[in-house]
Amino acid sequence: MTGRTGPAALRSDGRGRAAPLPAALLAALLAAILPALLLTAAGAHAAGRSAADPKPAVTLSGKQAGKGGEITVKGTGWRADTLLMMLVCGQSSPARGVIGGTNSCANADGRAVTTDSKGAFSKKLPVAEPPVPCPCVVHVATVTGDQSVADAVFVVAGHPVAALPKEDGNGKLAVLATTRLEGDSGILTWFGAPPSRRLVLTVGNLGSAAVKDPVFQVGTAHGVYAPQWEERQWRGTVEPGRKARIELPVELTAGAHGDYQVSLKYGTKVLAEQPWGVGRPWGVTLFWILLCLVVPAAVFRIGMAVVDKVRPRSAHAAARPRRRPDRLADVTARLPRLRRTPAPSEGPAPSAGAGSTTAALPWFTPDSAPSEHRPTTKGHS
């Protein structure tokens, strides 16, 4: 019987069965298939794990308390080592969130908390009355990074209660014109004061219902960092088919400089982005330069004064009493001396030699000076 020609892997033995694959070929097939199998299994595991990750949740030690009381807030399912803000908010519900943004919350009595390595936390929160009526919630939200929010129903005893405003989802805002930043920096900004501008834009209501007191989110990003969002509420109503000019304040931190990106978000949609180049506060640099010059000079002067004060003095200088200088004597010593010029008939003025006993005085002439050997005319004819 003539054997069939073909690949060695498909050769059959004498009994009609396929011959076993060589060991080298089997190892090569396993090396090629095994990484794909491992990647598929890892992807499925990660997908299952992300689907099984719990959502942020908040529980309260009590559902009701009066003003001045205290409750314990516990949370699970948050990101690890994340900074959170806890507030008591009115005009809110877990289904609709905080209507009106943080303007409906008791911001002065809020508390900050950081989650542990497992994304959990527990902290006490003082009970305060929000500026708007209940229904109320305990609102917990992340401060930085991706925004995560969780609300728990809470009743502030003795606080007024009012029905939530009707929900009309037909209002839709859109930007109709290019946004711009208005305002300029003052002299204080040159010395490190926080730069501030006004974000001006024109929006139109493309829906069929009016939008009243919309709450926007203004974010500022520097470099590769994510925007830091802050809520800004605009007071007014935009009727269907109408447009409105909106101005929102934007402020950076003290000493900020460089290229910034200002973003505007309404709901979950980013409406506009505007670049902002902030100059360097050169006044601060000038201040530090002057400080580096003045402080060493002052230290040097103080050090020299201390050295002059504590250095030892000589015994003669210490024993000699200090007296005030005679200013009149100094002036007199500097004046030129007046000398009498001799007359031509007179001979040269006698010099005071070593043997002379009488010195010529300025008010006597040499002839009229009294002498012990010269007789007087008194008693002579």
Q: Give the pLDDT of residue 247.
A: 92
Q: Give the pLDDT of residue 228.
A: 85
* CA-based R_g, the chain, Å: 50
Q: Give the pLDDT of residue 197.
A: 92
Q: Tell me how far apart the alpha carbons of residues 178 and 153 are, in angstroms, rounded to a whole number.
A: 41
Q: Give the pLDDT of residue 131.
A: 92
For residue 195, how many other CB atoms are within 10 A of its CB?
24
The sign of the CA dihedral 75, 77, 80, 83 is: negative
The list of the chain residues with pLDDT below 70 reads 1-53, 145, 167-171, 314-381
0.85 surpassed by pTM: no
Q: Give the pLDDT of residue 42.
A: 47
Closest CA to 89 of 74, 104, 100, 68: 104
Q: Tell me how far apart the alpha carbons of residues 300 and 81 are, in angstroms, rounded to a whole number.
A: 49
Q: Give the pLDDT of residue 34.
A: 53
Burial 7-41 (b: 16+ CB within 10 A, else e): eeeeeeeeeeeeeeeeeeeeeeeeeeeeeeeeeee
- Tell me the pairing of strands 97-98 and 211-212: unpaired
Q: Give the pLDDT of residue 250.
A: 92
Phi, psi of 34 (to 5 degrees): -60, -45
The sign of the CA dihedral 6, 11, 16, 18 is: negative
Q: Give the pLDDT of residue 258.
A: 87
Residue with tokens 């050169």: 282
Q: Give the pLDDT of residue 283.
A: 84
Q: Give the pLDDT of residue 332.
A: 61
Q: Give the pLDDT of residue 60.
A: 94
Q: Give the pLDDT of residue 32.
A: 55
Task: For 285-300, write each residue's pLDDT tens digit.
Answer: 888 888 898 888 899 9
Q: Give the pLDDT of residue 342.
A: 59
